[in-house]
Amino acid sequence: MGYELHISRAEEYYDSEEHPITLDEWLSYAEINPMLRVRGWLGRDEDRQPVYEHPCTDGSIVSLTWFEGAIEIKGHFDGDAYREFGAVAEDLLANLQGDHGERYTASGVLPPTR
């Protein structure tokens, strides 16, 4: 299914600028993560930043980009690909959240907080 996930330090991913993962922090992490590879670029000149691809265990490939203090994960994947990104969120001391507010860890889905 096509779906977006967000890695953020904010309680809600759309508030990521208040508790950001800095771009430098993200780029340093992505550089040492063997599962991430530069797929392309966003922007121009000194403002450009890489778009990373991540192969999921189901064979699909998703993209990861930094945007306003959060990491956006976009793509089409089957199965439980979000579990793969729970570890990335934990490495960055952040949360993994879906578009509808659901929260995940490397172990699975967390119960709703409300």
Q: For residue 50, is it within any domain?
A: yes
3-state secondary structure at position 112: coil
What digits encode the pLDDT tens for the residues 63-105?
Answer: 999 999 999 999 887 766 667 888 899 999 999 998 888 888 7
Does residue 38 belong to any structural domain of this protein?
yes
Q: What is the pLDDT of residues 31-43, one digit of tens each?
A: 999 999 999 999 8
| Inter-residue long-range contacts of 54-63, CB under 8 Å, 24+ positions, other chains counted | 54/84, 54/85, 56/81, 56/84, 57/81, 57/84, 63/39
Q: What range does the domain containing 99 cover?
A: 2-109
Residue 114 covered by a domain: no
Provide the domain count of the chain.
1
Element (H, E) at 104: strand 103-105
Decide if 23 is inside a domain: yes
